[in-house]
Amino acid sequence: MKTVLNCLQAVLSFFAEILFGCSHSRLTRPFTIEAETYKVCLDCGKQIYYSAQEMRPLNPWEVRRMKAANAGEVKVMPAPAMPQLVPAREREPNIAA
């Protein structure tokens, strides 16, 4: 019975680590090395990636995107500026008179 409970606990902690990172609470402060900001778990050594701009842990999708950008696979480009809109009465008419 004890073996079954240990196995169940291992499975649950496995999925908890996938969903929430690690289940430990003793973490370092966030620090940045080579353009990657993360905390480190003092119990298991797992790196928990962190946003220095928003001061919160990154979700798995953001971590994957950051690693791809650092590896040069994805170019992160700023959103294009909106085109300048000109009010209709200041526009030249297209009809040649």
The footprint of Zn ion (CB under 5 A) covers 22, 24, 41, 43-44, 46
Complex with Zn ion: residue 46 or 65, whichever CB lies closer = 46
- Closer by beta carbon to Zn ion, 41 or else 65: 41
Which contacts of 51-58 are long-range, i.e. CB under 8 A and separated by 24 or more positions?
55/30, 57/21
Taking the complex as a whole, the smallest distance from the CB of residue 23 to Zn ion amounts, in Å, to 7
Residue appearing with tokens 């950051």: 66
CB atoms within 10 A of CB 16: 12
Provide, rounded to whole angstroms, the least separation between the CB of residue 16 and Zn ion: 11
